[in-house]
Copies of this chain bind each other. A is one copy, B any other.
Amino acid sequence: MRYLHFSTCPIGHLHSSAFQAKETNMRQDILILGATGRVGKTLVKQILAEGDTNPRVHRNPTNIVGLASSANFVYAEKGLEDEAIISFLSKPKAGYESLVSLDALLDDAIGSHQDLAFVDVTAVGEGMYHFHQQVLEHSPFSVVTANKLPLANASYDDFRKLTRQVSRYGYRCSVMAGAEAVAMIRDLVDVHDPPITIEGCFSGTLGYLCSQLEEGKLFSEAIRDAHAQGYTEPDPRDDLNGMDVARKLVILARTGGHPIYIGENLEVNPFIPAEFLTDEPVEDFMAKLEMADGYFAGRISEAAAKGNTLRYVARFSAKGSELQASTCLEDVPINGPLGSLHGTANKIVITSHTYKPISPYIVQAPGAGLEITAQN
């Protein structure tokens, strides 16, 4: 599900994240890493379907010069033909060089391109930070990333190095894609009014589950449905462990100038009790979901008795240099700013010195809804 947020309006993010300031009618060469994944395929489909490659339709036409998966690669200096793109996506294992070396890829690109954006829609942790950093340091190219790992796993200093140049490192699609949360926080920092608190619901998947529980569905039933419809990660524990939400909070708080680290000053309380998050095969996990039904039914009825409901809430606050952050399944007022969210919608509430708690900055945007649209 974490992928989905990228696909809400990918080219918008490409353009706005990295290329907004360029002249009109400049062709935008891109090379997509992770093109055969779920986001990658959706992104490519949207680029082709929406005429983004057509200079008569689009102000800055997109030109796909390369597609890479973990094991395959296709490239054409002047841009790939639609047929080559479709063929790569439908038969990713055949007919291309194998074992893509990112460093070699970068070297080739430096030799043949003046300008290029690498679009990282992988979910790869290892190595990707290194690659992003290489692009920034050793080429004139840009990176646009929907992959949160390079940013959330990096040290705070490395995070700052990556994100220093707005024009070369676009990452707003990594958190609440389709919303301007990252840009908003950047602006606050720019005017010396950094966020003091950030709270919100950032997971379409967990929002959807909360809505299902609120409607009286059993947890096991809700998860199986969501899994069958592809709303969760292939292993739903990747949603239920809360790490994806925690990574988003890291990215937002660090964008706000706060050195947040998961497990240090950010406490991740999983959505499902931790004892369910074993390393047994996913089938075994799915087979014992009923064991959690009682827990969730209890939480929901406890909450309901107080006029409340459950939401998986990410919270950050800074009191001077004292930083606190957490993600937690919370009991919140059903008519309050988070309790009133429905289904997969995401919401973020930011306060700062000027955005007082009584009139904070609030953005609400759909989570998975758009992706479903995009896939259809």
Chain B residues with CB under 8 Å of A358's CB are 342-343, 369
Q: Does A63 contact B (CB under 8 A)?
A: no
CA distance A227 to B202 in the complex (A): 41
A14-48 to B contact mask, C-beta < 8 Å, 1/0 = 01100011111000000000000000000000100
Are A366 and B356 interface neighbours, CB within 8 A?
yes
Which residue in B344, B354, B364 is a CB contact (below 8 Å) of A361? B364
Chain B residues with CB under 8 Å of A361's CB are 178-179, 363-366
> Max chain B CB contacts within 10 Å: which of A50, A58, A188, A354?
A354
- Once A180-B180, A187-B12, A374-B354 are accepted as A-B contacts, the answer to whether A166 and B20 lie under 8 Å apart by CB is yes
Chain B residues with CB under 8 Å of A2's CB are none
Are A370 and B355 interface neighbours, CB within 8 A?
yes
Are A180 and B191 interface neighbours, CB within 8 A?
no
Are B9 and A191 interface neighbours, CB within 8 A?
yes
In chain A between 321 and 376, which residues have their CB closer than 8 angstroms to a CB of chain B? 335, 342-345, 353-356, 358-366, 369-370, 373-374
Q: Does A183 contact B (CB under 8 A)?
A: yes
Chain B residues with CB under 8 Å of A345's CB are 359
Are A24 and B192 interface neighbours, CB within 8 A?
no
Number of copies: 2
Chain B residues with CB under 8 Å of A190's CB are 9, 11-12, 15-16, 58-59
Main secondary structure of the interface of A (DSSP, over half): loop
A164-177 to B contact mask, C-beta < 8 Å, 1/0 = 11110000000000
Are A167 and B20 interface neighbours, CB within 8 A?
yes
Chain B residues with CB under 8 Å of A57's CB are 192
Are B22 and A21 interface neighbours, CB within 8 A?
yes
In chain A between 289 and 345, which residues have their CB closer than 8 angstroms to a CB of chain B? 335, 342-345
Interface residues of A (CB under 8 A from B): 8-13, 15-16, 20-24, 46, 50-52, 57-59, 164-167, 178-180, 183-184, 186-188, 190-193, 335, 342-345, 353-356, 358-366, 369-370, 373-374
